[in-house]
Amino acid sequence: MKKLSHYDPAGSPRMVDVSAKPETRRTARAHAFVKIAPSVLRKLPGNPKGNPLEIARIAGIGAAKRTSELIPLCHPLMLSHADLEVTLEARGVRIVASAATTAQTGVEMEALTAAAVAALTVYDMTKALDKSIEIQDLYLLEKTGGKSGSFRRKHD
């Protein structure tokens, strides 16, 4: 059975020591969906705060770069790439965040944080129109690199 690496043998939380791990190229992609009523979606192009999709993309990039400040035991990483695809769909906004680095630990948390903050930004920019907007389906799509190898989420 696998053990959770963020706990020492006594059960106290700790930052994992990755100093003995080799630096390898690591990538991750994460997903989030913001469910928005069609009547609100139609109003997005005229949003007085600006284009919510582009602002969400920029917010997500900034969040990826600051993940270790938000998640207590997360290692600070020098990202070589962070970007988001923010797409308007019939039921809402689909967000796919990607992150990459060459480091001793993975970038899953950076991709997930980017997707989450982008979704929160869409909510923030549209909440005046509808408070019932839902943030849904935040999950890791895939990751590459590291000792555990590649992971790709199976479609439901």
Active site residues: 124
- C-alpha distances (whole Å) from 9 to each of 13, 42, 74 are 10, 54, 19
Q: Hey, which bits of the chain come out as E strands?
A: 24-35, 81-89, 92-103, 134-144, 151-152
Nearest of 66, 69, 37, 41 to residue 53 by alpha carbon: 41
Residue linked to tokens 């920029």: 58
Task: Locate all alpha helices (DSSP H) within the chain, ordered by sequence.
Answer: 38-41, 52-65, 67-70, 108-126
User: Residue 54 carries which side chain, given as an amino acid letter?
Assistant: E
Q: What count of Cα atoms within 13 Å lies in the side-chain half-sphere of residue 114? A: 31
